[in-house]
Amino acid sequence: MSTQAVVPFAACFEDGPIDAYAKMGQLQINSYKISCSSGIPFFTQFLEVFELQIKLVVTDVQRASHAPIVTHVVKCPVPLSSSCTIGSVPADVISKSGVYSYTIVPILVDMAPITAMSSTRIFPYNDSLAPYPQVIPFAQSDPLRFPSGPFVYCTGHYGVGPCVKSDSYALRKSMIDNLPATSIPPGTTKGRAGDYQTHHVLPASCGGQNTYDNGAFMRVVAGGTNDQLPFTNWWSALKFCGVTDSTD
């Protein structure tokens, strides 16, 4: 790639987030669209082609990074202003646990690479190569976020350092005391869970605390819906965190 030309006004804007699909042992991008422009006509001749590099980065649960892998490259013709759409690409195989990040970077070809913007989406996998569950908690519009850590091995070490024993009552009390009333499910009180259990976003077995910023309300109905169970199963299959408490 030559570096004799530089386009200081080149800019790229995504038309939406990365649409990707995570399933057992696989990760796949379904679609992504980005629009780029040189900004001024004089530089149009240099914008003959640009490419979108799809990079896959994996870190372990302690956020130790590994080198990014360029898994796919999409080349797009570019007049003065143009858009590029990524359709479905071949699935990347997930071979070990960790937090996988898809990053799409626009690169202007035949000049110094300009990463005017990039878009990233993360997908955590456990030791069973299962993706993190996609469940929307009460009063939230998006699936439960994956915790940022720090991750600490706490099984058998409760009371030492940051490790505390999982306590659903303490978590529920902290949430009720600190969150707006609209974030508390009807029928839920400090002494009664109702149809929504308090869920530790980061389990106590992995360093999670019994505080409102580590909590979410998940619908759990006897003999029916149990939105908390997929998370309990997922964390139980992550060896670093040991054995999770059923209340997590």
Do 137 and 120 have their domain in common?
no
Predicted pLDDT of residue 173 = 96
Predicted pLDDT of residue 168 = 93
Please report which confidence band the pLDDT of residue 9 belongs to, taking 50, 70 and 90 as the band edges.
Answer: very low
Do 121 and 137 have their domain in common?
no
Residue after which a domain boundary falls, among 67, 98, 125:
125
Is 21 or 67 the better-scoring residue by pLDDT? 21
Q: From CA 46, how far away is CA 88, in angstroms rounded?
A: 29
Residues in contact with 218: Cβ distance below 8 Å, sequence separation at least 6, in sequence order: 135, 137, 138, 196, 197, 199, 227, 228, 231
Do 241 and 205 have their domain in common?
yes
Please report which confidence band the pLDDT of residue 162 belongs to, taking 50, 70 and 90 as the band edges.
Answer: confident
pLDDT > 70 in the chain, percent:
77
Q: From CA 220, how far away is CA 223, in angstroms rounded?
A: 9
Does residue 3 sit within a domain? no
Does residue 89 sit within a domain? yes
Does residue 5 sit within a domain? no
Kindly tell me if the per-residue pLDDT of 81 is higher than 60.
no
Label the pairing between strands 11-14 and 26-37. antiparallel
Kindly tell me if the per-residue pLDDT of 45 is higher than 80.
no
Residue after which a domain boundary falls, among 125, 157, 182:
125
Question: CB 178: neighbour CB atoms within 10 A?
Answer: 12
Range name among 70-84, 132-146, 178-192 with the lowest pLDDT average? 70-84
Predicted pLDDT of residue 4 = 32
Do 215 and 248 have their domain in common?
yes
Kindly tell me if the per-residue pLDDT of 248 is higher than 60.
no
Do 48 and 87 have their domain in common?
yes
Single-letter code of the amino acid located at 89:
V
Do 150 and 234 have their domain in common?
yes
Kindly tell me if the per-residue pLDDT of 3 is higher than 50.
no
Kindly tell me if the per-residue pLDDT of 63 is higher than 80.
no
The whole-chain average pLDDT of the chain stands at 80
pTM: 0.80
Residues in contact with 169: Cβ distance below 8 Å, sequence separation at least 6, in sequence order: 190, 191
Question: How many separate domains does the chain show?
Answer: 2
Percent helix / strand / coil, the chain, rounded to 5: 15, 35, 50
Q: Output the CA angle 74-88-17, nearest 5 degrees.
A: 80
Do 99 and 194 have their domain in common?
no
Is 47 or 217 the better-scoring residue by pLDDT? 217
Kindly tell me if the per-residue pLDDT of 7 is higher than 50.
no
Is 169 or 74 the better-scoring residue by pLDDT? 169
Kindly tell me if the per-residue pLDDT of 44 is higher than 80.
no
Residue after which a domain boundary falls, among 108, 125, 142:
125
Q: Using an 8 Å Cβ cutoff, are 225 and 219 in contact?
A: yes
Do 107 and 15 have their domain in common?
yes
Is 70 or 234 the better-scoring residue by pLDDT? 234
Predicted pLDDT of residue 143 = 94
Kindly tell me if the per-residue pLDDT of 159 is higher than 50.
yes
Range name among 84-88, 98-102, 163-167, 192-196 with the lowest pLDDT average? 84-88
Kindly tell me if the per-residue pLDDT of 116 is higher than 90.
no
Give me the domain span that covers residue 138: 133-248
